[in-house]
Chains A and B, each alone.
Chain A
Amino acid sequence: MVNTNLEIGVLGHEIAPRGSYFIALSHGKKQKVFGPKSPLIFEYGFTFSSQSFDFSNDKTLEKIETAEGVKTVFANNVDFQQVKRNSWNLSYFEAPIMLHFDFSGNGKVDQSLSLGVGAYAGVRIQSIMGQVGTDIEGQNLRINTTNNLNTNLFRAGLQAQVGYKKYKVTGRLDATPLFHDNAFEEETYIGSIGIGMCL
């Protein structure tokens, strides 16, 4: 979670990197642009992605009514005495496109070094907050909340990829803010880096 200066934002500071991950499953097609000998490849397809953020403290995101309207805030968790897991899961359906420079041989792809840049656009399909812990009497308690928390329904961003044969490292950065205008205390963008494999 970064701000407009690409620095770790307010929300980003509350996130434990160890429990925060990005999983995506893509199906696409790669097509040589200028004939079989060309190193330029255009890739398109669709992706199901899930981004999970593990909050490092007992606070949780919730909507509250303020004088300026309904806002999303990072609030204390009143239901729990102790929180063992506190996560936020966002799932999207996306359509990515990428242009690759692939050093594979004539008529081949993903057989050598490749570099790519591209973009993606998607729609949010789910937003769930999940908390597990013990209540004020020490009994087990689990709360799952499904709510958009003022996040934007659509997202778009840029991505870059470097790969060798079937293994790829991909970096992504959203170009659209995570929350609605003025819904959170600062503009927040999701960035991620992941390792993947092509089949």
Chain B
Amino acid sequence: MKKLILFTLFLLCGPLAYASTLTDSLPPITVVEDTTVAALAEEAWELSDKQQMVRSSVQVRTIIKQLENGELSQEEAQETIDSLISAIYLASASYFENYEATTTESVVDALSRDDELFDLDDFVFDLEGEQKTFVFEWHIGSNRLVRNTLRDAAAMEHVNGWLSIENRFLFSQKRRLGGYASPIQLQHGIGFSSTVFSFKNERTISKDILGGTGTGLFPIFNMNTVWASNWNYTHLNAPIMLHLDLSPKGTFNEGLNIGVGLEGRMRIASSAAYSGRDLDGDWFTRTTQSGFNTRIFNYAVLAQAGYKQVKLTGRFERIPLFKEGAFEEDVFLGSLTLGFALN
């Protein structure tokens, strides 16, 4: 406010009158008319104190150059420089009286004023760098075979729910849409997922070798004891999600967020293994690598709620896991996982 009052007063009184009251050591100031330099000097009054100081000092060099080129006489040049020195003196007095130490807020304010004396490119560059970030995520949780209605499939009676685990790794990029302050973020990436189903009731997944085509959960024969029976299903994932992220401006995974998205996936391995004791009590392990009539490609809908780096993600495939008619009913792969994001 002080600065504004002084500046207004200065404009009203005029440079000559004001300068003459300040000090006796300065020479009398006269406005030089009818020269290019004078026009520049007048224009300078509309600038801030700081700008005026910088600009006036630059103009001194211009005047000396004009003097050396014969465009100005010695008297005209001396008068103009005296005038500029007075202007610098007055501007500096006002500037230092109102000087405040530079803070982050003042830099941002200065940017918003579109001050031509600042190098704006440097600041813009820094802010653009925070519009996107690399995110590594690890998710682990429970998976299930469900019907389209999200109810458990009949096959789940042979599945150990708490031993059936989904493990996902994701390498992705999060990008703010609509500028660094926007709460909308787009995430896309690629990852690997391992889905393990643990079977109980001494069953394993197998193609129906007696009844023709088809896959089922069949009893294991020729074993005294089955200790473990698992089906490991590994796929390559490519998710894309849209998040509403309430993290502070320019940051990621620093606040509450909710997101929805889609994920395409491709099966890259499928193996069933069981182990235990055979007919005469010796150790027995059998690993069968087969697709078991599952589809190679599928897609899932994703929903995620997170706070800071911890994410809870629901995943539900929208195409039946097995090929048409290959399983006793249409089952879909669903999972609920807890994840951690590192960026």
- Whether a CB of chain B sits under 8 angstroms from the CB of A70 is yes
B287 proximal to A (CB < 8 A) = yes
B207 touches A137 (CB 8 A): yes
Name the B residues within 8 Å of A146 (CB-CB): 283-286
Interface check A59, CB cutoff 8 A: no
B283–A147 touching, CB < 8 Å = yes
Chain A residue at minimal CB-CB distance from B279: A70
B280 at the interface (CB under 8 A from A): yes
Measured between beta carbons, the chain A residues less than 8 angstroms from B286 are 143-146
How near does chain A come to B88, taking the closest CB pair, in angstroms?
85
Tell me which of B161-169, B172-180, B288-296 binds A. Answer: B288-296
How many pairs of residues, A versus B, come closer than 8 Å at their CB atoms? Answer: 58
Contact B209 A78 (CB under 8 A): yes
- 1/0 per residue, CB under 8 A from B, across A126-156: the answer is 0000000001110111111111101000000
Among the 9-residue stretches A17-25, A61-69, A163-171, the one with 4 or more Cβ atoms under 8 Å from chain B is A61-69
A145 touching B209, Cβ below 8 Å: no
User: Considering the complex, which residues of chain B in the window 225-239 have a beta carbon less than 8 Å from any beta carbon of chain A?
Assistant: none
Using A142-B289, A146-B283, A147-B285 as known contacts, say yes or no to A79 and B222 having CB atoms under 8 A apart: no
Tell me if B279 and A63 are in contact (CB < 8 A). Answer: yes
Q: By the criterion CB–CB under 8 Å, are A147 and B213 in contact? A: no
Given A63-B222, A135-B207: A144 touches B287 (CB 8 Å cut-off): yes
Report the bound CA distance from A146 to B126 in whole Å.
59
Say yes or no: is B76 at the interface (Cβ < 8 Å to chain A): no
Would you call A79 and B209 a contact (CB within 8 A)? yes
User: What is the chain B residue whose CB lies nearest that of A153?
Assistant: B282
A141 in contact with B290 (CB, 8 Å): yes
Q: Do B290 and A145 touch (CB < 8 A)?
A: no
A144 to B288, CA, bound (A): 7
Place the interface of chain B in its size category. Answer: 10 to 19
Complex interface: chain B residues within 8 A of A142 (CB): 288-290
> 1/0 per residue A50-67: CB within 8 Å of B?
000000000000111100
Interface membership of B254, Cβ < 8 A: no
Contact A64 B222 (CB under 8 A): yes
Residues from 26 to 54 in A contacting B, C-beta threshold 8 Å: none
Contacts of A145 in B (CB 8 A): 284-287
Q: Would you call B278 an interface residue if the criterion is a C-beta within 8 Å of the partner chain's C-beta atoms?
A: yes
Complex CA gap A78/B208 in Å reads 11
Q: Which residues of A contact B284 (CB under 8 A)?
A: 145-147
* A65 contact from B209, B279, B291, Cβ within 8 A: B279
A70 near B291 with CB under 8 A, answer no
C-alpha gap A60/B262 in the complex (Å): 46
Nearest CB of B to A128, in Å: 9
- Please measure, in the bound complex, the distance between the C-alpha atom of A144 and the C-alpha atom of B285, giving whole angstroms: 8
Which residues of chain A are within 8 angstroms of B285 by Cβ–Cβ distance?
145-147
Contact call B287/A143, Cβ cutoff below 8 A: yes
Residue of B nearest to A148 (CB): B282
For A129, give the chain B residue with the smallest CB separation: B286
Residues on B with C-beta less than 8 A from A147 are: 278, 282-285
Contact (Cβ within 8 A) A63 B283 = no
- Given known A141-B288, A142-B288, contact A136–B279 (CB-CB < 8 A): no
A140 contacts B279, CB within 8 Å? no
| A63 contact from B209, B280, B290, Cβ within 8 A | B280
User: Which of B209, B278, B282, B291 is close to A136, meaning CB atoms less than 8 Å apart?
Assistant: B209
Tell me which residues across on chain A come within 8 A of B290, comparing CB atoms: 135, 139-142
Interface residues of B (CB under 8 A from A): 207, 209, 212-213, 222, 278-280, 282-291, 293
Sampled A-B contacts (18; CB under 8 Å): A63-B222, A63-B279, A64-B279, A65-B279, A79-B288, A136-B213, A137-B207, A137-B213, A137-B293, A139-B290, A140-B289, A140-B291, A141-B289, A143-B288, A144-B286, A145-B285, A146-B284, A147-B278
Could you list 20 further interchain pairs (A-B, Cβ under 8 angstroms) beyond the known A140-B290, A147-B282? A63-B222, A63-B279, A64-B222, A65-B222, A70-B279, A79-B288, A135-B290, A137-B213, A137-B293, A140-B289, A141-B290, A143-B286, A143-B288, A144-B286, A144-B287, A145-B286, A145-B287, A146-B283, A147-B285, A148-B282
